[in-house]
């Protein structure tokens, strides 16, 4: 858990990365129907499981099933936990004279979550872990936005108003008109 200025794809990638590095890979991700998780053609309607968001594509690359919450009961479980944090955290941060996000994140990691887990954690019904150790290489190759581009005549592609030069290599002197994929690792720079 951590504070961010804005919830979205970058913060979700960061959260997934922290879990995988700490505990390992998991089988499914249960979420609300936020626009960074799902495309929903009609407000309040069913999610489009075939038109994946960047987050959905990353989960697919990792082999993690994504599940959209529909029932009030399902959303209620996570909302109750968030409400508990939202009621406790502002008071605790104020008592500790913490007013900036960096210090708040440090407090979350070093004080709050340890105390919260000690108070509320319950033993699992089954021994062992459902997490599988991550052995798939660099997570940023998976937890990133991917955007296809066509290389222009100057051996460059444009992305987010930036021109990216593709260097020549030993096998090709240029990539003009080639289709390339730009990997945008937003969670590392957010």
Alpha-carbon distance 178 to 174, whole Å?
9
In a domain, 3, yes or no: no
Residues 99 and 174 in one domain: no
Domain membership of residue 161 as a residue range: 144-188
Residue 98 has pLDDT above 70, yes or no: yes
pLDDT reading at 190 higher than 70: no
Report yes or no on 68 lying in a domain: yes
What is the bridge-based pairing of β-strands 162-165 and 156-159? Answer: antiparallel
Q: What is the largest CA-CA distance in the chain?
A: 62
Residues 78 and 150 in one domain: no
Percent over 90 (pLDDT), the chain: 65
What is the sign of the dihedral through the CA atoms of 190, 21, 83 and 36? Answer: positive
92: nearest Cα among 73, 110, 69, 67: 110
User: Looking at the domain assignment, is residue 125 inside a domain?
Assistant: no
Residue 42 pLDDT level (bands cut at 50, 70, 90): confident
* DSSP assignment letter at 132: B
Position 188 scores a pLDDT of 56
**Residue 58 belongs to some domain of the structure:** yes
Q: How far is CA 8 from CA 92, 147, 181, in A?
A: 25, 18, 22
Q: What is the mean pLDDT of residues 89-112?
A: 95
Q: Categorize the per-residue pLDDT at 54 as very low, low, confident or very high, splitting at 50, 70 and 90.
A: very high
Of 190 and 160, more confident: 160
Q: Are 112 and 47 within one domain?
A: yes
Q: Which stretch, 22-31, 32-41, 116-125, has highest mean pLDDT? A: 22-31
Domain harbouring 101, CATH code: 3.30.420
Mean of pLDDT values over 158-184: 91
β-bridge partners, 68: 31
Residue 3 has pLDDT above 70, yes or no: yes
Please tell me the distance from the alpha carbon of residue 53 to that of residue 35, in angstroms, as a whole number. Answer: 8
Give the total number of structural domains in the chain: 2
- pTM of structure: 0.83
Of the candidates 32, 36, 34, 31, which has an alpha carbon nearest to the alpha carbon of residue 64?
31
């Amino acid at each position: 858990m951590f504070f961010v200025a804005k919830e979205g794809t970058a913060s979700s990638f960061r959260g997934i990365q922290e879990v995988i590095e700490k505990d390992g890979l998991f089988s499914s991700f249960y979420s609300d129907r936020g626009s960074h998780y799902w495309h929903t053609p009609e407000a309040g309607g069913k999610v489009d499981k075939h038109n994946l968001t960047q987050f959905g594509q990353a989960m697919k690359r990792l082999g993690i099933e994504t599940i959209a919450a529909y029932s009030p009961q399902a959303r209620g479980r996570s909302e109750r936990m968030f409400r508990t944090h939202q009621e406790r955290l502002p008071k605790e941060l104020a008592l500790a004279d913490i007013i900036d996000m960096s210090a708040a994140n440090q407090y979350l990691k070093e004080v709050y979550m340890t105390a919260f887990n000690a108070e509320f954690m319950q033993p699992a019904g089954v021994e062992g872990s459902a997490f599988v150790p991550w052995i798939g290489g660099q997570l940023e190759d998976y937890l990133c936005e991917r955007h296809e581009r066509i290389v222009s005549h100057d051996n460059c592609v444009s992305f987010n108003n930036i021109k990216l030069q593709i260097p020549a290599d030993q096998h090709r002197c240029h990539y003009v008109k080639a289709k390339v994929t730009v990997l945008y690792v937003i969670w590392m720079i957010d």
